[in-house]
Amino acid sequence: MTPAAAEPFMPAEGTDVLENLAFDLAREASRLSGQLHPVVRLSVAELVRSMNCYYSNLIEGHNTHPRDIDRALAADYSNDPHRRDLQLEARAHIEVQQMIDERIDPPRPTTSLEFIEWTHREFCRRLPESLLIVENPDTGEQIPVVPGQLRARTVAVGRHVPPAADDLPAFMRRFEEAYDSARLTKPRQAIAVAAAHHRFLWIHPFLDGNGRVARLMSHAMLLDLGIGSALWSVSRGLARNSGDYKRLLTAADEPRMGDLDGRGALSQRALIDFSKFFLEICLDQIRYMRELLDPSELQRRMELYVRDEESAERLPKRSFAVLREALLSGELERGRVPGLIGTSERTARRVISALLEKRLLVSDSHRAPLRLGFPIDVVERWFPKLYPIA
């Protein structure tokens, strides 16, 4: 099989519906990025990475409770082997995404084979051995997954049979060429994120882990375009629309349907339909997070929560004034708190201590400035419908 079997790698130029979506994405993304203080954005990013991991795992059929993810980040693992494995998987996903977000190590460009192998290797090497085994459904053979290594055998994904192992290098070279951002206009670069997501899964370069690598790759591509950020996640939208996601992925595997369906081996119409769906999901998630992170609305939800906690005597009075200042200023020097809330230093220390204990404030040391925290206990109140908590 040659790479021609996966053409077209991109929808035809002049597809207005996709280009309009690309422009809308760029506009909405710029509106989201300026809403919060940079320090607060870093704290929100930690929460969103956890959410992204939850939804990406959910697409794979791994329902890891958000509290278990929270505990995994604190190295508090379950005694149950299965739950522990899922916690380790969740932590692996979060750590790799953080490396991508902070550009710590990953190679560029994000559609290069080097980046794709790096992503698979970094994710899989953090997994327990039990999650690095694939079973042949026909023979029962236990096949090990080697982190960062392209598959060395033929596989089937439902009715789709991806390229043979020997053909993968040629397909990945064409993949790199097709999605080289230097060859594409800005709108076409955004469209390429959607098209590459499908074609990567169609090629299915690894024995296992392709779905997670595809979603991390898409996140990285959007990040490089300035559309993506650590403040929103395409995985949330894909998981919440998983039926359409999987249906349109499968449809885009189909061969060309007649002379009006492009000139490649695969259906251009189906690739356009998937790309439209993918970009609409991106747009929906950016708008959702922009509304969720609107400072005035976030303050209102925080205040309602704190008033309830104060009434129940689970938080001391004047707590909200401290949290609001941390939200607006990003960092709050401890010495400012007495004047901020109009109390003695002793009372201010008691308020700070209570907020630190509940992780509503966090600090690098007992003298360092205070920052806003987002513990899982407040997520549903401060960020409604971000992800299931119950």
Query: Same structural domain for residues 327 and 370?
Result: yes
**128 within a domain of the structure (yes/no):** yes
Statement to judge: residues 191 and 127 lie in one domain: yes
Per-chain mean pLDDT for the chain: 94
Tell me, yes or no, whether 192 and 329 share the same domain. no
Residues 255 and 310 in one domain: no
Please provide residue 163's backbone torsions phi and psi, each rounded to the nearest 5 degrees.
Answer: -55, 150
Average pLDDT (99-126) is 95
CA distance 124 to 298: 37
Structural domain contains residue 125: yes
Q: Flag whether pLDDT at 388 surpasses 80.
A: no
Is 1 within the bounds of a domain?
no
- Confidence bin at 176 (pLDDT 50/70/90): very high
Q: Is the pLDDT of residue 149 over 70?
A: yes
- CA 145 to CA 209: how far, in whole Å? 9
Structure tokens that stand for 228 in this block:
């993506």
Are 319 and 209 found together in one domain?
no
Assess if residue 388 is contained within a domain.
Answer: no
Residue 7 lies in a domain: no
Residue 324 in tokens: 């609001």
Q: Which has more confidence, 138 or 68? A: 68
> Can you give the pLDDT at residue 260?
87
Residue finishing a domain among 292, 308, 337: 292
Note down the domain range covering 346. Answer: 295-382
Do 304 and 280 sit in the same domain of this protein?
no
The answer, yes or no, to whether residue 115 has pLDDT greater than 50, is: yes
Structure confidence at residue 14 as a pLDDT band (50, 70, 90): confident
Same domain? 192 vs 307: no
Total Cβ atoms within 10 A of residue 115: 21
Rounded Cα gap, residues 336 and 62, in angstroms:
46
Query: What tens digit of pLDDT does each residue of 53-82 get?
Result: 999 999 999 989 899 999 999 999 999 999
Asked whether residue 5 is domain-assigned, the answer is no
Q: How far apart are CA 177 and CA 123, in angstroms?
A: 25
Does residue 355 sit within a domain? yes
| Cα 111 to Cα 131: distance, rounded to the nearest angstrom | 25
Band the pLDDT of 390: cuts 50, 70, 90.
Answer: very low
Q: Over pLDDT 70: what percentage of the chain? A: 99
- 352/215 same-domain check: no
Residue 324 pLDDT exceeds 50 = yes
Q: Is residue 4 part of a domain?
A: no
Q: Are residues 285 and 300 in the same domain?
A: no
226-241 tens-digit pLDDT: 999 999 999 999 999 9
Residue 27, domain CATH: 1.10.3290.10
315 and 288, same structural domain? no
338 and 210 fall within a common domain: no
Do 283 and 219 lie in a common domain? yes
Tokens 């020097």, residue located:
333
d(CA 243, CA 238): 9
pLDDT higher than 80, residue 133: yes
Domain boundary pick from 261, 292, 323: 292
CATH number of the domain within which 355 lies: 1.10.10.10
Domain boundary among 267, 292, 317: 292
User: Based on the structure, what is the number of domains in the chain?
Assistant: 2
